[in-house]
């Protein structure tokens, strides 16, 4: 698994570097005399799932192509506090210029991967077939990266964008005659390659959607008891997704209802950044500047 470096991701990296070091690094320029060569390590300060090595390496490359970034643990690894997850070596000024941007990317993406892994482990312990999936509740410009982090943590990706699937929600239905009418229109007009999913708020709406030919139903903000009844009534005719207010305390109960998918918006919109630090471990100071 590798972090995708698309043109949009390149723009994001360039923007991050521009806002932090675009006008230069006053501290390094004043304190460090070239050429100071240095080696630093990025250290985990808590238990976490590592995510974002390729992005961090690319960001450092953007600062200075001569910088060497070496991952010390594999992407998706769980590490303990004190673990060195990467090593960076090169010009001291360049290394420090990229420090904050690199840590920001790694801390945010590793935070998403870490939270996702918690959900995945809880669901796995239930012994059910349920899978944890993300949503489109992502930071603008970060969607590809945040969904990558979910996958890195063991989750699965829902739609990447509005063109990736048919998801008929209550606002669509409000502009149609009924749930069944909305599904029938989608079945007639949507590309055959796209799966049709309908958000339902009751078992009656679910049945209407199934009869109209949907492929998936999304049970919106239902109690586990109602979800279990819906799963029983659907009897395997469609895939069933659960969504709405699901957290670490409730996800196991939701999984035990028999649903196929559990979408969790907080994976991307509320995952806390993990704690990482960069520490210089070696520095080659020119003799004439150290006296």
Q: What is the 3-state secondary structure (H, E, C) of 193-240?
A: CCCEEEEECCHHHHHHHHHHCCCEEEEECCCHHHHHHHHHHHCCCCEE
pLDDT of residue 291: 47
Whole-angstrom distance, CA of residue 264 vs CA of residue 120: 11
Q: What is the pTM of this model?
A: 0.95
C-alpha separations of 43 from 2, 11, 67, 209, 226 in Å: 20, 27, 18, 51, 46
Out of 146, 197, 199, 208, pick the active-site residue.
199
Residue among 62, 118, 136, 137 flagged as catalytic: 137
CA contacts within 13 A on the Cβ side of 203 = 13
Specify whether 211 is catalytic.
Answer: no
pLDDT in tens, the chain (291 residues): 678 899 999 999 999 999 999 999 999 889 987 789 999 999 999 999 999 999 999 999 999 999 999 999 999 999 999 999 999 999 999 999 999 999 999 999 999 999 999 999 999 999 999 999 999 999 999 999 999 999 999 999 999 999 999 999 999 999 998 899 999 999 999 888 899 999 999 999 999 999 999 999 999 999 999 999 999 999 999 999 999 999 999 999 999 999 999 999 999 999 999 999 999 999 988 776 444
Q: Respond yes or no: is residue 260 known to be catalytic.
A: no
Q: What is the C-alpha to C-alpha distance for residues 185 and 180, in angstroms, rounded to an integer?
A: 9
For the chain, list the domains and their CATH numbers.
Answer: 7-117+272-290 (3.90.1170.20), 119-269 (3.20.20.70)
Catalytic choice (215, 220, 241, 260): 220
Catalytic residue of the set 62, 100, 187, 256: 100
Whether residue 116 contacts residue 146, with contact meaning beta carbons closer than 8 Å, is answered with no
Q: Is 169 a catalytic residue?
A: yes
Contact (Cβ atoms closer than 8 angstroms) between residue 242 and residue 254: yes
Asked if 19 is an active-site residue, the reply is no
Catalytic residue from among 131, 136, 169, 201: 169
pLDDT of residue 90: 95
Handedness of CA 75, 17, 82, 281 (dihedral sign): positive
Report the alpha-carbon distance of residue 183 to residue 167 in Å, rounded: 10
Which pLDDT does position 159 carry in this prediction? 94
């Amino acid at each position: 698994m590798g972090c995708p470096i698309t043109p949009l991701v390149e723009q994001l990296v360039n923007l991050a570097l521009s806002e932090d070091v675009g006008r230069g690094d006053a501290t390094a320029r004043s304190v460090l005399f070239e050429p100071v060569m240095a080696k630093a390590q990025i250290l985990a300060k808590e238990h976490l799932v590592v995510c974002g090595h390729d992005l961090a390496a690319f960001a450092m490359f953007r600062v200075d192509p001569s910088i060497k970034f070496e991952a010390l643990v594999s992407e998706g690894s769980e590490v303990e506090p004190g673990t060195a997850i990467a090593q960076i070596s090169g010009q001291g000024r360049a290394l420090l210029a990229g420090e904050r941007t690199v840590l920001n990317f790694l801390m945010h993406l590793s935070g998403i991967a870490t939270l996702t892994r918690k959900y995945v482990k809880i669901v796995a312990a239930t012994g059910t077939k349920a899978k944890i999936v993300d949503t489109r509740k992502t930071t603008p410009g970060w969607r590809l990266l945040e969904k990558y982090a979910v996958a890195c943590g063991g989750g699965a990706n829902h739609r990447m964008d509005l063109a990736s699937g048919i998801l008929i929600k209550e606002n669509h239905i409000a502009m149609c005659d009924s749930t069944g009418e909305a599904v029938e229109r989608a079945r007639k007009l949507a590309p055959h390659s796209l799966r049709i999913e309908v958000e339902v708020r009751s078992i009656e709406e679910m049945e209407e959607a199934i009869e109209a030919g949907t492929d998936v139903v999304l049970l919106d903000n239902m109690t586990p008891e109602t979800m279990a009844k819906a799963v029983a009534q659907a009897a395997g005719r469609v895939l069933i997704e659960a969504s709405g207010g699901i957290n670490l305390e409730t996800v196991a109960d939701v999984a035990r209802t028999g649903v196929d998918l559990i979408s969790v918006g907080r994976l991307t919109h509320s995952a806390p950044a993990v704690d990482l630090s960069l520490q210089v471990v070696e520095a080659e100071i020119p003799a004439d500047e150290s006296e």
